[in-house]
Amino acid sequence: MSIYSYTARNIRGKDVELDQYKGKVMLIVNTASKCGFTSQYADLQKLHEKYSESGLQILGFPSNEFGEETGTNEEVDVFCQINYGVSFPLFEKIAVKGGNKHPLFRHLTEQAGFEGFDEDNSNAKLLKLMLLNRDPASLEDDEIKWNFTKFLVDREGHVVKRFESFVNPLDIESSIQALL
Protein backbone atom coordinates (compact mmCIF):
# COMPACT_ATOMS: atom_id res chain seq x y z
CA MET A 1 0.00 0.00 0.00
CA SER A 2 1.23 3.49 -0.87
CA ILE A 3 1.10 6.61 1.28
CA TYR A 4 -1.35 7.86 -1.34
CA SER A 5 -3.89 5.17 -0.39
CA TYR A 6 -4.77 6.90 2.87
CA THR A 7 -7.39 9.44 3.80
CA ALA A 8 -7.48 11.61 6.91
CA ARG A 9 -9.78 14.35 8.15
CA ASN A 10 -8.35 17.82 8.28
CA ILE A 11 -8.62 19.93 11.42
CA ARG A 12 -12.02 21.21 10.23
CA GLY A 13 -13.44 17.70 9.67
CA LYS A 14 -13.13 17.45 5.88
CA ASP A 15 -11.78 14.20 4.38
CA VAL A 16 -8.46 14.67 2.62
CA GLU A 17 -7.11 12.01 0.30
CA LEU A 18 -3.33 11.96 0.52
CA ASP A 19 -3.06 11.24 -3.20
CA GLN A 20 -3.59 14.97 -3.68
CA TYR A 21 0.05 15.32 -2.57
CA LYS A 22 1.44 13.08 -5.34
CA GLY A 23 4.67 14.51 -6.66
CA LYS A 24 5.37 16.42 -3.44
CA VAL A 25 7.97 15.74 -0.78
CA MET A 26 6.06 15.35 2.49
CA LEU A 27 7.07 15.78 6.10
CA ILE A 28 4.41 14.09 8.24
CA VAL A 29 4.55 14.97 11.94
CA ASN A 30 2.55 13.96 15.01
CA THR A 31 2.12 17.12 17.07
CA ALA A 32 0.91 18.39 20.45
CA SER A 33 0.29 21.84 21.88
CA LYS A 34 1.50 21.25 25.44
CA CYS A 35 4.75 19.43 24.80
CA GLY A 36 8.35 20.33 25.46
CA PHE A 37 8.85 20.07 21.69
CA THR A 38 5.86 22.29 20.77
CA SER A 39 8.19 25.10 19.75
CA GLN A 40 9.10 22.92 16.75
CA TYR A 41 5.93 24.29 15.14
CA ALA A 42 7.91 27.49 14.49
CA ASP A 43 10.64 25.66 12.58
CA LEU A 44 8.13 23.50 10.71
CA GLN A 45 6.47 26.73 9.61
CA LYS A 46 9.85 28.15 8.52
CA LEU A 47 10.47 25.05 6.39
CA HIS A 48 6.97 25.35 4.96
CA GLU A 49 7.51 28.98 4.00
CA LYS A 50 10.94 28.31 2.52
CA TYR A 51 10.20 25.15 0.51
CA SER A 52 6.47 24.84 -0.19
CA GLU A 53 6.84 26.43 -3.62
CA SER A 54 9.63 23.92 -4.38
CA GLY A 55 7.35 21.00 -3.58
CA LEU A 56 7.52 20.43 0.20
CA GLN A 57 4.24 19.65 1.94
CA ILE A 58 4.23 19.53 5.73
CA LEU A 59 1.28 17.71 7.33
CA GLY A 60 0.61 18.03 11.06
CA PHE A 61 -1.34 15.36 12.92
CA PRO A 62 -2.20 16.36 16.50
CA SER A 63 -2.39 13.50 18.96
CA ASN A 64 -3.11 13.16 22.64
CA GLU A 65 -1.25 9.84 22.98
CA PHE A 66 1.05 11.35 25.59
CA GLY A 67 -1.52 13.59 27.34
CA GLU A 68 -0.22 16.79 25.77
CA GLU A 69 -2.95 17.60 23.25
CA THR A 70 -6.08 17.92 25.36
CA GLY A 71 -7.85 20.66 23.40
CA THR A 72 -10.51 20.28 20.75
CA ASN A 73 -9.57 20.35 17.08
CA GLU A 74 -10.73 23.97 16.91
CA GLU A 75 -8.61 24.90 19.95
CA VAL A 76 -5.57 23.19 18.41
CA ASP A 77 -6.08 25.07 15.14
CA VAL A 78 -6.41 28.45 16.88
CA PHE A 79 -3.41 27.73 19.13
CA CYS A 80 -1.21 26.89 16.16
CA GLN A 81 -2.27 29.94 14.16
CA ILE A 82 -1.98 32.43 17.01
CA ASN A 83 1.25 31.16 18.55
CA TYR A 84 3.18 29.89 15.51
CA GLY A 85 1.42 31.25 12.43
CA VAL A 86 0.97 27.70 11.16
CA SER A 87 -0.28 27.72 7.57
CA PHE A 88 0.55 24.15 6.60
CA PRO A 89 -2.30 21.60 6.79
CA LEU A 90 -3.31 20.29 10.20
CA PHE A 91 -5.52 17.26 10.66
CA GLU A 92 -7.96 16.08 13.31
CA LYS A 93 -6.53 14.58 16.46
CA ILE A 94 -5.72 10.92 15.88
CA ALA A 95 -4.13 7.95 17.60
CA VAL A 96 -0.53 7.44 16.44
CA LYS A 97 0.27 4.28 18.39
CA GLY A 98 -1.43 1.23 19.84
CA GLY A 99 -4.41 -0.74 18.64
CA ASN A 100 -6.43 2.29 17.53
CA LYS A 101 -3.56 3.85 15.60
CA HIS A 102 -4.62 5.63 12.41
CA PRO A 103 -3.80 3.46 9.36
CA LEU A 104 -1.48 6.17 8.00
CA PHE A 105 0.69 5.97 11.11
CA ARG A 106 0.59 2.19 11.03
CA HIS A 107 2.06 2.43 7.51
CA LEU A 108 4.63 5.05 8.51
CA THR A 109 5.95 3.08 11.48
CA GLU A 110 6.06 -0.14 9.44
CA GLN A 111 8.09 1.59 6.74
CA ALA A 112 10.44 3.50 9.07
CA GLY A 113 11.01 1.88 12.42
CA PHE A 114 12.57 3.30 15.53
CA GLU A 115 16.35 3.52 15.15
CA GLY A 116 17.21 4.49 18.71
CA PHE A 117 18.35 7.59 20.52
CA ASP A 118 21.26 9.84 19.63
CA GLU A 119 23.35 9.59 22.80
CA ASP A 120 25.13 12.85 21.88
CA ASN A 121 21.87 14.80 21.96
CA SER A 122 20.85 16.05 25.43
CA ASN A 123 17.12 16.11 24.53
CA ALA A 124 17.40 12.53 23.32
CA LYS A 125 19.00 11.47 26.58
CA LEU A 126 16.24 13.17 28.59
CA LEU A 127 13.50 11.59 26.50
CA LYS A 128 15.08 8.16 26.83
CA LEU A 129 15.34 8.52 30.62
CA MET A 130 11.74 9.66 30.84
CA LEU A 131 10.56 6.69 28.76
CA LEU A 132 12.70 4.30 30.81
CA ASN A 133 10.88 5.53 33.92
CA ARG A 134 7.36 5.65 32.43
CA ASP A 135 7.24 2.73 30.02
CA PRO A 136 10.51 0.85 29.44
CA ALA A 137 8.85 -1.65 27.10
CA SER A 138 8.07 1.19 24.68
CA LEU A 139 11.76 1.44 23.84
CA GLU A 140 11.71 -2.02 22.27
CA ASP A 141 9.23 -1.52 19.43
CA ASP A 142 8.73 0.70 16.39
CA GLU A 143 5.82 2.67 17.83
CA ILE A 144 5.92 6.46 18.03
CA LYS A 145 7.89 7.32 21.17
CA TRP A 146 6.70 10.90 21.68
CA ASN A 147 5.22 13.97 20.02
CA PHE A 148 6.92 15.56 17.02
CA THR A 149 8.16 12.36 15.43
CA LYS A 150 8.73 13.26 11.78
CA PHE A 151 8.49 11.07 8.66
CA LEU A 152 10.06 12.25 5.41
CA VAL A 153 8.32 10.96 2.28
CA ASP A 154 9.71 11.31 -1.26
CA ARG A 155 7.86 12.49 -4.37
CA GLU A 156 6.83 8.91 -5.19
CA GLY A 157 5.21 8.38 -1.80
CA HIS A 158 7.98 6.26 -0.26
CA VAL A 159 8.87 6.79 3.39
CA VAL A 160 12.54 7.75 3.28
CA LYS A 161 13.45 8.46 6.88
CA ARG A 162 12.06 8.80 10.38
CA PHE A 163 13.31 11.54 12.68
CA GLU A 164 12.54 11.29 16.37
CA SER A 165 11.09 14.03 18.55
CA PHE A 166 14.43 15.39 19.66
CA VAL A 167 15.55 16.13 16.08
CA ASN A 168 14.84 19.76 15.29
CA PRO A 169 13.06 20.29 11.95
CA LEU A 170 15.79 22.66 10.74
CA ASP A 171 18.35 19.89 11.32
CA ILE A 172 16.69 17.81 8.59
CA GLU A 173 16.69 20.62 6.04
CA SER A 174 19.49 19.02 4.01
CA SER A 175 17.53 15.73 3.84
CA ILE A 176 14.51 17.69 2.54
CA GLN A 177 16.64 19.58 0.01
CA ALA A 178 18.07 16.31 -1.32
CA LEU A 179 14.54 15.14 -2.20
CA LEU A 180 13.38 18.43 -3.69
Q: What angle do CA 144, 148, 149 make, to 5 degrees?
A: 40
pLDDT, mean over the chain: 95
Q: Specify the CATH number for the domain of residue 103.
A: 3.40.30.10
Q: For residue 145, what are the domain limits?
A: 3-179
Which amino acid, residue 159?
A: V
pLDDT digits (tens, 9 = 90+) for 107-161: 999 999 999 888 899 988 888 888 989 888 888 899 999 999 999 999 999 999 9
How many Å apart are CA 31 and CA 146, to the nearest integer? 9
Please tell me the total count of domains within the chain: 1
Residue 35 near residue 66 (C-beta atoms within 8 A) = yes
Q: What are φ and ψ of residue 32, in 5° steps? A: -160, 145
pLDDT digits (tens, 9 = 90+) for 42-53: 999 999 999 999
CB neighbours of 28 closer than 8 A, spacing ≥ 6? 59, 61, 104, 108, 150, 151, 153
80 catalytic residue (yes or no) = no
pLDDT digits (tens, 9 = 90+) for 95-115: 999 999 999 999 999 999 999
Catalytic residue among 25, 35, 58, 76: 35
How many Å apart are CA 37 and CA 174, to the nearest integer? 21
